[in-house]
């Protein structure tokens, strides 16, 4: 547990940029990021990670442990 050292450092400043990134990652446009969408986004950003690290990263983003990352959780994660 606690494997958060692989957290990507998104060079994002504004809420608009963060929401644009969210929309890019949210491939099926359901308003929630799945772990598979996160995996695809990391690969697209040339940041492939192990399944273990992917799960740890996703869990740290999914603040309420609902199994999906919504816009609020995503913004909080990126901006912290
Ligand atoms: Ca989605």
39-76 pLDDT, tens digit each: 999 999 999 999 999 999 999 999 999 999 999 999 99
Measured in angstroms, how far is the CA atom of residue 11 from the centroid of ligand 1?
22
Residue range(s) defining the domain that contains residue 71: 15-22+30-79
Bridge partners, 69 (sequence order):
33
Secondary structure (H, E, C), 32-60: CECHHHHHHHHHHCCCCCCHHHHHHHHHH
Q: Give domain status of residue 34, yes or no.
A: yes
Q: Give domain status of residue 47, yes or no.
A: yes
Q: Give domain status of residue 9, yes or no.
A: no
Q: Give domain status of residue 2, yes or no.
A: no
Taking the model in full, what pTM does it have?
0.79
Measured in angstroms, how far is the CA atom of residue 66 from the centroid of ligand 1?
13
């Amino acid at each position: 547990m606690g494997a958060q050292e692989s957290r990507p450092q998104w060079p994002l400043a504004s809420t608009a940029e963060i929401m644009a990134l969210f929309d890019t990652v949210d491939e099926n446009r359901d308003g929630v990021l799945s772990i598979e969408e996160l995996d695809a986004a990391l690969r697209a950003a040339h940041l492939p990670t192990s399944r273990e690290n992917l799960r740890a990263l996703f869990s740290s983003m999914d603040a309420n442990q609902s199994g999906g990352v919504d816009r609020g959780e995503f913004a909080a994660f990126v901006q912290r």
